[in-house]
Amino acid sequence: DAKTTQPTSMDCAEGRAANLPCNHSTISGNEYVYWYRQIHSQGPQYIIHGLKNNETNEMASLIITEDRKSSTLILPHATLRDTAVYYCIVRVGRGNKLVFGAGTILRVKS
């Protein structure tokens, strides 16, 4: 399974952009990068995903480097409700499972 590396934790000031990095140097050409977040013990919430191109939706932007070995999730205007564990996941082929790592704890502070 392609592995991802994320910082253990990050702090962000409320109203500022939160930039969460992820390294996935062993990613294969047809593997997608997915981002989920989990607030407290709620079910993981889908944020965004991408293959090669940068992506943007109502929640966030995803920037993928040209070599696809790393990506950055951007929350443009972080709020206190964005405090959560953020998971960067590379989708693996067999079984279509999501392989979760430890994720990044993002703390948004006022």
Partner 1 sequence: DSGVTQTPKHLITATGQRVTLRCSPRSGDLSVYWYQQSLDQGLQFLIHYYNGEERAKGNILERFSAQQFPDLHSELNLSSLELGDSALYFCASSVEASLRETQYFGPGTRLLVL
Q: What is the smallest separation between the CB atom of 29 and partner 1, expressed in angstroms?
A: 12
Q: How far is the CB of 57 from partner 1 (least distance, A)?
A: 11
Which residues of the chain form contacts with partner 1 (CB under 8 A)? 30-32, 34, 36, 38, 41-46, 49, 87, 91, 93-102
Q: What value, to the nearest 5°, has the Cα angle with vertex 83 and ends 99 and 10?
A: 75
Please, what is the minimum distance in Å from the beta carbon of residue 90 to partner 1?
A: 10
Residue number, 7 or 14, with CB nearest to partner 1: 7
What is the distance between the alpha carbons of residues 37 and 29, in angstroms, rounded to a whole number?
Answer: 24
- Measured from the CB atom, the residue of 43 and 66 that comes closer to partner 1 is 43
Q: Which residues contact 67 (CB under 8 A, 6 or more apart)?
A: none
Residue closer to partner 1, measured from CB, 20 or 85: 85
Does the CA dihedral 62-8-106-85 come out positive or negative? positive
Calculate Rg over the CA atoms of the chain. Answer: 13
Q: In angstroms, give the least distance from the CB of 101 to partner 1.
A: 8
Alpha-carbon span 48 to 46, nearest angstrom: 6
